[in-house]
Structure 1
Amino acid sequence: MISSRKNLLLAGLLASATFCSAGAFAQAPSAPGVPAAETQSHARPAAQHGHMDPAQRMERMQAHRAKRMADLKLVLQITPAQESAWQSFTAAQQQPARPAGAARFDRAEFAKLTTPQRLDRIQARQAERSAMFAKRAEATRNFYAALSPVQQKIFDVEAMHFAGHGRGGHMGHMGHAGNEAPAHDKG
């Protein structure tokens, strides 16, 4: 019975996949007034998203972060009395700039190290990140204390979205509508 149930399920999934993929071929052409090149130009940045040089990527991330922070400030309705706490909070959230002479991670160099040397490097980097996190956490606590109870509730919800948990965490893209990761079937 189990094998026939699996076969039936597999056939249903295959039929669903075929039906869904048929829609991709039957898409309507772009609007007559919009040239094809123009519609492709909107898709191009997303396609090239992974091929940006590091400076472009950093610039894009900073612009995105600035927009999100501006939106958060609007939603929270920060008062003039809360402005200094807001400034401290946003300053602590900024990604520190890499010093001019600092090199990026070099895999070849890392591979030449002994295991204890690698562990020391990793531990030093973890200590740096932990210190940066402590700074951000303290600034967040101070800012949170300056908010009214209503603003705190709004911040609680918005902070979950910033962390990605409002969209199902790191698996948010997989569950889109339900905001949860798909369940794994054991059987």
Structure 2
Amino acid sequence: MTADLIRLHDDLRLSDGQEADWKAYTLAVAPSQDLLARHRATSELLPLVPTPRRIALIEATMAQDNLDFKRQSAAVNAFYGKLTPDQQKVFDRETLPPSDAGGDRR
């Protein structure tokens, strides 16, 4: 678990009843070894294949990434639905991507 997830967990002040939902959420959003291996294999193959195969390889990788994203977004939505309105505000604030200005989002 990353420092950001630990901080988010602490800041959400989850109830005992929400802990199982938290565990399911963190497992679902963690980068899978399959994803990392798929990206590594794609990067290694791209210079070795002709352009039409590169395009097909990139397309296949993107399609699988999209499936992973849908799975993760379903987990986020399921967990978010278990949070109180105040916890949702914390979650929204703390999971906002960093700004391009490089400032701290907290």
TM-score where L is the length of structure 2: 0.82
Identity, % of aligned pairs? 25
- The Cα offsets for residues 60-84 of structure 1, whole Å up to 9 and x where unpaired, read as xxxxx52211111110001111111
Q: Which residue of 1 aligns with 2:85?
A: 149
Distance, in Å, in 2 between the alignment partners of 1:90 and 1:142 is 12
Aligned length in residues: 102
Which residue in 2 is equivalent to 1:77? 13
Gaps of 5+ in 1: 1-64, 180-187
TM-score normalised to the size of structure 1? 0.49
Distance in 2, Cα, partners of 1:111 & 1:73: 42
Structure number with larger C-alpha Rg: 1
User: Equivalents in 2 of 1:74, 1:83: separation in Å?
Assistant: 11
Number of the residue aligned with 2:101:
172
2:27, 2:16 → 1: CA distance?
17
- List gaps (5 residues or longer) in structure 2: none
1:153-172 superposed Cα distances (whole Å, 9 cap, x missing partner): 11111111xx22xxx2xx23
Flag the structure with more relative contact order, 1 or 2, with Cα contacts below 8 A and sequence separation at least 6: 2
